């Protein structure tokens, strides 16, 4: 049996809490759309996850192109070596166009600031060690 020409297509039979019906007219199975069909909950979740991945990919491909955190080790860099590795990764990504120039510049600025903090801590630690050595040497001379 075919629908009459010009007749509206069938829609999902689901009725919302406000009494209006779902207006989806594609992908119906047993009169229900993908979202409202309890037998297809897993497929609906997979479609939602795929949509979120597509949105994130589109966002990365937009004006600001960035890397996923996993591409930079999955956590903040803690050592000078990790920072250097991340800078090398970002430089390569910038050279290949994976990362936009603004993102690369800001990332390098942040890394330089982080390296200055590490250097400051290292210098302070070295000064404390030298003071202890001088104190020990002075005690050795006076005895």
What pLDDT, on the 0 to 100 scale, is given for residue 143? 44
Of 22-31, 45-54, 94-103, which range is least confident?
45-54
What pLDDT, on the 0 to 100 scale, is given for residue 132? 92
Long-range contacts, stretch 61-66, CB < 8 angstroms, 24+ apart: 63/100, 64/100, 64/102, 64/103, 65/97, 65/98, 65/99, 65/100, 65/103, 66/99, 66/100, 66/103
Which pLDDT tens digit goes with each residue over 106-133? 999 999 999 999 988 888 899 999 999 9
pTM reported for the whole predicted model: 0.47
Domains in the chain: boundaries: 1-61, 67-142
Which pLDDT tens digit goes with each residue over 55-90? 677 666 666 778 888 888 889 888 999 999 999 999
Of 1-5, 21-25, 83-87, 99-103, which range is least confident?
1-5
CA distance 108 to 67: 14
Asked if residue 115 lies in contact with residue 80, where contact means CB atoms within 8 angstroms, the answer is yes
DSSP 130: H
- Given a cut of 80, whether residue 33 has pLDDT beyond it is yes
Q: Which two tokens stand for residue 19?
A: 């009494």
């Amino acid at each position: 049996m075919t629908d009459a020409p010009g007749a509206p297509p069938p829609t999902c039979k689901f009725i919302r809490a406000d009494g209006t019906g779902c207006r989806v007219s594609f992908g119906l199975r047993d009169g229900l759309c993908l979202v409202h069909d309890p037998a297809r909950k897993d497929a609906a979740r997979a479609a939602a996850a795929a949509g979120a991945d597509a949105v994130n990919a589109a966002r990365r491909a937009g004006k600001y192109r960035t890397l996923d955190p996993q591409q930079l080790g999955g956590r903040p860099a803690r050592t000078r070596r990790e920072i250097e590795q991340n800078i090398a990764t970002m430089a390569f990504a910038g050279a290949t166009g994976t990362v936009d120039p603004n993102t690369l510049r800001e990332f390098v600025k942040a890394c330089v600031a982080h390296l200055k903090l590490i250097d400051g801590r290292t210098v302070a630690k070295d000064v404390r060690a030298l003071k202890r050595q001088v104190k020990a040497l002075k005690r050795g001379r006076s005895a």
